[in-house]
Amino acid sequence: MTSNQDNNGIRPAAGRLGILTPGLGAVATTFMAGVESIRRGHSKPIGSLTQMATIRLGKRTDNRSPLIKEFIPLASLEDIVFGAWDPIPDDALTAAKKAGVLDERDLAPVAEFLKAIVPMPAVFDNHYVTRINGANVKKGKTKRDLGEALRKDIREFKAKHKLDRLVVVWCASTEIYLKPGPAHATLAAFEQAMDANDDQIAPSMLYAWAALMEGVPFCNGAPNLSVDIPALLDLANEKGVPISGKDFKTGQTWLKTVIAPGIKARMLGLKGWYSTNILGNRDGEVLDDPASFKTKEESKLSVLHTILQPDKYPDLYKDFSHVVRINYYPPRGDNKEGWDNIDIVGWMNYPMQIKVNFLCRDSILAAPIVLDLALFSDFAHRAGMKGIQEWLSFYYKSPMTAAGLQPEHDLFIQQTKLKNTLRHLMGEEQITHLGLEYYA
């Protein structure tokens, strides 16, 4: 902790922080088990910037590079309390075992802890996620009633666990593809649509609405619209609450946003990028439904165009072919295997190929992102930030931006933006890497 903690108008991270996840599946349980295991000293928070990354301050010659968690007032892992909603009534231990991400030897020491996390009845509707069936579901005459029931859950959870603050991180299944429409345009239209049980109001939007109404930051780990509609953006601004999304940037897309900027930085051309994966977890099963896959596909396809800017560089990137496939293949469980074939073009138009074969573990990559998003969103809230947190684009495949702006996808630009936001909030100089101190 630094003496800056009370400065810059940022409220200190005193008291307990509740992290609520709609969805208690592979990602959420891996996240919760991991945090508890770290708290007990059984593992290190690998993959988490809030826990492991440093941040350079001042000139290179100053030699000031504290850990981020020592530079900004973040909630401590010890102060986190977990809760969830899920239509499947399994407690977190049962759900983690079914997800098959973590080995028995890692689950055993935290088994009692996980067992105590029992999901609250979900707002769930098969129309939006066809491949899941569960009985742990709220009943209500209208979507507004269901949203109000979620608000009540949030308030009761806060009171029961004597929490100071809360964050909601969507870790539930990907819903079918919805386009922003009139029901999403204003808060009044949205609330009217809730009363009328309009199909355009998906469960994820009700969770987002409930969180914002309760003054709780909302992060969206899936590609469904949820909080990414004008009505809820207005509500976030009105209530002074940070929001961010969409879709955790983990395996193949994360690597895409590392490799594509490298190709572009050297002004090499691209003829095509073919990505395919096999995935056998429940997420893979949900994405096997074409309507849910369409939501995911939109999210995965958008990154290359914004990084490569074909309109600015037609000679290099006009009309490149970009194909993304996800194949549900049960034997692999959560251990996704991805293949990328990248056809690039060099000097005098000579073709070259890059092949990437990534044997990743989806939830192992996603868990630290959930932690960082929750801690940074809570920090942003205490710092008085509201609305879309573009500096958290680093964590998302389809970053939310203000209307009319292109999202930034390049991982290293995103990282610079994230760290510069922290420097700015703490009253430190931003680092542009333009310093001329060595040449003076």
Compose the 221-240 pattern: x for residues touching ligand NAD by CB under 6 A, - for all others: xx------------------
Task: Give Cα 170 distance to the centre of its chain.
Answer: 8
Stretch that binds ligand NAD, among 17-25, 269-277, 300-308, 413-421 (CB under 6 A): 17-25
Question: Could you tell me where the DSSP H helices lie in 40-101?
Answer: 49-52, 68-71, 92-99
Contact 77, 35 (CB under 8 A): yes
Task: Count each helix (H run) and each strand (E run) in the chain, helices first.
Answer: 16, 10
Min dist CB 412 to ligand NAD, Å, is 20
Pick the closer one to ligand NAD by CB: 32 or 77.
32
Is residue 153 a contact residue for ligand NAD (CB under 6 A)?
Answer: no
Site for ligand NAD in 279-308 (CB under 6 A): 281-283, 286
Residue type, 248: F
Is residue 83 a contact residue for ligand NAD (CB under 6 A)?
Answer: no
Is residue 129 a contact residue for ligand NAD (CB under 6 A)?
Answer: yes
- Residues 6 or more apart whose CB falls under 8 angstroms from that of 225 comprise 178, 180, 184, 202, 204, 205, 246
Stretch that binds ligand NAD, among 46-54, 124-132, 190-198, 210-218 (CB under 6 A): 124-132
Indicate which single residue of 247, 340, 390, 410 sits in contact with ligand NAD (rule: CB under 6 A): 247
- Residues 6 or more apart whose CB falls under 8 angstroms from that of 323 comprise 272, 273, 274, 275, 276
Sheet holding 80-85, edge to edge: 80-85, 17-22, 165-170, 218-220, 242-244, 387-388
Min dist CB 12 to ligand NAD, Å, is 31
Stretch that binds ligand NAD, among 121-129, 266-274, 381-389, 411-419 (CB under 6 A): 121-129
User: Contacts with ligand NAD: how many residues (CB under 6 A)?
Assistant: 37
Is residue 132 a contact residue for ligand NAD (CB under 6 A)?
Answer: yes
Contact 109, 40 (CB under 8 A): yes
Contact 166, 20 (CB under 8 A): yes
Pick the closer one to ligand NAD by CB: 158 or 282.
282
Is residue 19 a contact residue for ligand NAD (CB under 6 A)?
Answer: no
Site for ligand NAD in 171-210 (CB under 6 A): 171-174, 203
Contact 41, 110 (CB under 8 A): no
Among candidate residues 321, 303, 305, the one with its CA nearest the CA of residue 313: 305
Pick the closer one to ligand NAD by CB: 172 or 388.
172
Is residue 328 a contact residue for ligand NAD (CB under 6 A)?
Answer: no
Is residue 374 a contact residue for ligand NAD (CB under 6 A)?
Answer: no
Pick the closer one to ligand NAD by CB: 96 or 345.
96
Contact 87, 139 (CB under 8 A): no
- Residues 6 or more apart whose CB falls under 8 angstroms from that of 369 comprise 47, 221, 248, 249, 250, 395
Token pair 């165009």: residue:
305
Residue type, 380: A
Indicate which single residue of 24, 216, 227, 236 sits in contact with ligand NAD (rule: CB under 6 A): 24
Is residue 27 a contact residue for ligand NAD (CB under 6 A)?
Answer: yes
Alpha carbon of 129 to those of 173, 292, 330, 367: distances in Å?
7, 7, 19, 22
Is residue 368 a contact residue for ligand NAD (CB under 6 A)?
Answer: no
Is residue 363 a contact residue for ligand NAD (CB under 6 A)?
Answer: yes
Binding residues for ligand NAD (CB under 6 A)? 22-28, 85-88, 99, 122-124, 129, 132, 134, 171-174, 203, 221-222, 247-248, 250-251, 281-283, 286, 362-363, 365-366
